[in-house]
Amino acid sequence: MAPPIQQLISSTALPSELKLIAEKVLNNERITFDEGVTLYYKGELGFVGTLANHIREQKHGNKTFFNRNFHIEPTNICVFDCKFCSYSRLLKQKEGSWELNEEQIMDIIKKYDGQPVTEVHIVGGVHPKMGLKYFADLIKKIKDHRPDLHVKAFTAVELEYMFRKAKMSYVEGLKYFKEYGLNSLPGGGAEIFDEEVRKQICEDKCTTAQWLEIHETAHKLGIPSNATMLYGHIEKFEHRVDHMNRLRTLQDKTKGFNTFIPLKFRNKDNQMSHISEVSVVEDLRNYAIARIFMDNVPHLKAYWPMIGRTTAQLSLSFGVDDIDGTIDDSTKIYTMAGSEEQSPALTTQQLVDLIKQVNRKPIERDTLYNVVQDYTNYQFDEVVPVR
Ligand code: V47
Ligand code: SF4
């Protein structure tokens, strides 16, 4: 029997514009902006899923990556006012806010001594008093304590604010952090690049141009990064394609993005709570179209603490090849916004089982996707320590 994608192409019922896209995917060709928009308006879940799964299996076979990481959120106090944010508090607003000092952060790091974690992910609110020097010293302390731990830290939003306050250019600031031990940047703060939509949902934080310039500068300095897209709120399909197109264009230039991470807008306790959340079908369609459109970004991540374990499992048939990490319950940005996972922690064994249940190969990776361990035939004969 012909592979599913060829069966699709030979189906007489398929509209010619979709057939053309399917042929491009089969021939490993890039789809255009307009074709991306067509997929959003006309591509049914089964159709986009078949194309995305073809690409996923061409790129990674059955492999599904995860890593052993933990998150530190130093504070949720933030000078900005993103309308979708359920997590931030103003400096003067004491209720529900937290600020960790250096000792408390180092205590979290030390909690993982002797545990085989490979990455710490540090992001938080943009605190007016926690500046560049504070965070550079913190990273150095972490690296002095545990040199092998990969430090993935600070969104472009946090960096833009710190560099502006320190009167440093992006090159100077990023070089400075790199010297202190910063290894890569997470993908947050991208939201939606369209300037009009951005103005409505997060007017006061770093602009699209600044976000892209910080990531471009990082890539040129040998600091890889991720990229996110916040979808399912007031944006139109065209805005999603525009967002991915700007990332794809930058990636052609720098090749510095490892992973694209679509983030579903969650509507609990924020200024956009009146907007309904999109369906699981839309989540899966979005992953699939992202996989088809972003042909030059190697990995597509479903961030399970936000989307939930079941959708994360499903997403592995819709283009996703990475389900992030073991994490722990210190990540609050989604739990406070109403995600399914109210206490997001999975042991390695649970993550491996989750992947195996849907017949994929669980591969533990480090931040840069070097294989740490292939768990396909691994037998857990005792309880493996969490994370
Ligand atoms: O930029 C905030 C999002 C992001 C909501 O690089 C919300 O590996 C949905 O970027 N509904 C920060 N999303 C988190 C982030 C991230 C997460 C996991 C992995 C990586 C990585 C990066 O969280 C923000 C924003 O887009 N966010 N509030 C909300 N209500
Ligand atoms: Fe601050 Fe980030 Fe929340 Fe925006 S999303 S208000 S920058 S913590």
Instruction: Give per-residue pLDDT as tens, 136-150.
Output: 999 999 999 999 999
**What is residue 89's predicted lDDT score, i.e. its pLDDT?**
80
**What is residue 348's predicted lDDT score, i.e. its pLDDT?**
86
**What is residue 331's predicted lDDT score, i.e. its pLDDT?**
57
Confidence of residue 232 (pLDDT cuts 50, 70, 90): very high
- Tell me: the pLDDT tens digits for 157-188? 999 999 999 999 999 999 999 999 999 999 99
Q: Give the number of C-alpha atoms closer than 13 A to the C-alpha of residue 232, restricted to the C-beta side.
A: 20
Mean pLDDT of 70-86: 93
DSSP 334-361: TGGGT-S-SS----HHHHHHHHHHTT-E
Residue of 86, 214, 230, 260 best suited for mutating to test ligand 1, as the one with most atoms within 8 Å of CB: 230
Q: For ligand 1, atom 12, name the residue with the nearest CA.
A: 188
pLDDT at position 329 over 50: no
- Tell me: the pLDDT tens digits for 285-312? 999 999 999 999 999 999 988 898 999 9
Whose CA is closest to 318, among 57, 63, 66? 57
Residue 277 CA to ligand 1 centre (angstroms): 15
**Nearest atom, ligand 1, residue 84 CA:** 30
* DSSP-assigned letter for residue 29: P
**What is residue 163's predicted lDDT score, i.e. its pLDDT?**
98
Residue 188 CA to ligand 1 centre (angstroms): 5
Strands (E), 254-376: 257-264, 299-300, 322-325, 361-365, 371-374
Distance CA 128, CA 130 (A): 6
Q: Which ligand is nearest to the CA of 267?
A: 1
Confidence of residue 333 (pLDDT cuts 50, 70, 90): low
| Region at 83 (left for phi over 0; alpha for psi -120 to 50; beta for the rest) | alpha
Give SS3 for 79. coil
Residues near ligand 1 with C-beta < 6 Å? 84-86, 186-189, 191, 226, 228, 230, 261, 263, 265-266, 270, 303, 333, 337
Residues 6+ apart with CB under 8 A from 90: 77, 78
Burial class (CB in 10 A: 0-12, 13-18, 19+), 334: buried
CATH 3.20.20.70 residue spans of the chain = 64-374
Q: Which of 68-82, 92-106, 255-269, 295-309 has the lowest mean pLDDT?
A: 92-106
Q: Give the number of C-alpha atoms closer than 13 A to the C-alpha of residue 158, restricted to the C-beta side.
A: 28
Percentage above 70 pLDDT, the chain? 93
Confidence of residue 13 (pLDDT cuts 50, 70, 90): confident
**What is residue 295's predicted lDDT score, i.e. its pLDDT?**
98
Q: For ligand 2, atom 7, name the residue with the nearest CA.
A: 80
Confidence of residue 3 (pLDDT cuts 50, 70, 90): confident
- Architecture of the domain made up of 64-374: Alpha-Beta Barrel (3.20)
Residue of 275, 333, 367 best suited for mutating to test ligand 1, as the one with most atoms within 8 Å of CB: 333
Residues 6+ apart with CB under 8 A from 99: 74, 75, 77, 127, 130
